[in-house]
């Protein structure tokens, strides 16, 4: 690949980030004013309003990556969503949230989010509060935090999404599940659990990677489920191990056999 060709691809990445960044800033204003006003004026339509807004943002982000950036992505599968739906998804890139939102076409998810995203991020921080995303601090292990996570997710009227790996790997491989938060969620109620596996976007894991590599992305997604989780009070270790093994197999199919970063599927 010539230097001029590489420079052209990078320009497309920069333009994509510029468009997406502008959309986030303008969207933050719209969300804090018009959207909040609409929810207050029409409380009976709150779910439809919030779902439509989040779906529109997800479509916009994916459109920018595809049309401006040159990324390619296959068909996005659908998942039936409602109370008691729990989605486990592997974590590859900055586009994971738009992708998982688009799997739930007629609703919106509450996404388990790191606490640091609840402040100082245009549009995202306000969305965390408006959509009542459960927040977690990866460094906190206190019982009260886990109890809050369990209660918030168990009572959610919409699907819940969690990235059980907790963070992205640099090469897109699948990491071992971090089980503490997942155990808390599964302990709150019986869930219909769906697995969503994505590959190909790991080249755009961070913003700098996105700028350099978005034109080379060939994304793919696959789902499996639903699986009924154990009832509250029952052991969830074996169930988590099964979900981890199944996601590992799905990932292997999508990635052409690229191995996980760490062994998966071992009960604790």
Q: Where are the domains of the chain?
A: 3-255
- The answer on pLDDT for 205 being more than 50 is yes
Cα distances (angstroms) measured from residue 123 to each of 21, 35, 109, 132:
10, 12, 16, 14
Binned at pLDDT 50, 70 and 90, residue 265 comes out as very low
CA 208 to chain centre: 20
Residue-level pLDDT at 263:
44
Residue-level pLDDT at 175:
84
What backbone phi and psi angles, to 5 degrees, belong to 14?
-65, -45
Cα distances (angstroms) measured from residue 219 to each of 107, 117, 203, 214:
23, 25, 10, 10
Tell which residue, 243, 230, 233, 218, has the closest CA to residue 162.
243
- The average confidence (pLDDT) of the chain is 86
Residue-level pLDDT at 176:
87
Alpha carbon distance 243, 245 (integer Å): 5
**Lowest mean per-residue pLDDT among 1-15, 89-103, 201-215:** 1-15
Residue-level pLDDT at 262:
43
- The answer on pLDDT for 92 being more than 60 is yes
pLDDT tens string 124-161: 899 999 999 998 876 555 666 788 889 999 999 999 99
Asked whether 98 and 161 are in contact (CB, 8 A), the reply is no
Percent residues over pLDDT 70 in the chain: 90
Binned at pLDDT 50, 70 and 90, residue 260 comes out as low
Residue-level pLDDT at 13:
84
pLDDT higher at 157 or 174: 157
Angle between helices 96-103 and 46-63 (to 10 degrees): 130
- The answer on pLDDT for 29 being more than 60 is yes
- The answer on pLDDT for 267 being more than 80 is no
pLDDT tens string 209-258: 888 888 888 889 999 989 999 999 899 999 999 999 999 999 988 887 65
Angle between helices 179-186 and 237-255 (to 10 degrees): 120
Binned at pLDDT 50, 70 and 90, residue 86 comes out as very high
Helix segments in 64-206, DSSP class H: 96-103, 124-130, 143-154, 179-186
Mean pLDDT of 167-181: 82
Mean pLDDT of 68-87: 90
Residue-level pLDDT at 245:
92
- The answer on pLDDT for 40 being more than 90 is yes
- The answer on pLDDT for 184 being more than 80 is yes
Residue-level pLDDT at 58:
94
Q: Read off the pTM.
A: 0.86
Mean pLDDT of 48-74: 92
Strands 192-199 and 218-228: antiparallel
Residue-level pLDDT at 207:
79
Alpha carbon distance 6, 198 (integer Å): 26
């Amino acid at each position: 690949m010539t230097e001029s060709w590489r420079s052209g691809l990078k320009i497309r990445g920069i333009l994509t980030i510029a468009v997406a960044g502008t959309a986030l800033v303008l969207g933050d204003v719209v969300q804090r004013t018009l959207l909040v006003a609409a929810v207050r004026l029409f409380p009976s339509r709150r779910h439809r309003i919030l779902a439509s807004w989040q779906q529109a943002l997800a479509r916009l982000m994916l459109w920018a990556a595809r049309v401006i950036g040159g990324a390619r992505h296959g068909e996005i599968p659908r998942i039936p969503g409602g109370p008691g739906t729990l989605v486990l998804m592997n974590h590859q890139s900055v586009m994971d949230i738009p992708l998982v939102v688009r799997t739930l076409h007629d609703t919106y998810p509450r996404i388990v989010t790191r606490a640091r995203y609840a402040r100082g991020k245009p549009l995202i921080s306000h969305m965390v509060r408006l959509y009542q995303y459960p927040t977690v601090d990866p460094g906190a292990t206190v019982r009260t935090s886990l109890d809050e996570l369990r209660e918030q997710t168990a009572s959610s009227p919409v699907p819940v999404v969690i990235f059980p790996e907790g963070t992205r790997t640099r090469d897109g491989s699948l990491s071992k599940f971090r089980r503490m938060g997942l155990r808390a969620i599964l302990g709150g109620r019986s869930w219909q659990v769906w697995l969503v596996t994505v590959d190909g976007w790991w080249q755009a894991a961070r913003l700098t990677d996105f700028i350099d590599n978005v034109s080379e992305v060939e994304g793919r997604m696959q789902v499996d489920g639903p699986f009924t989780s154990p009832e509250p009070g029952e052991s969830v270790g074996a169930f988590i191990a099964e979900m981890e093994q199944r996601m590992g197999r799905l990932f292997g199919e999508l990635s052409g056999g690229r191995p996980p970063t760490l062994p998966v599927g071992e009960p604790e």
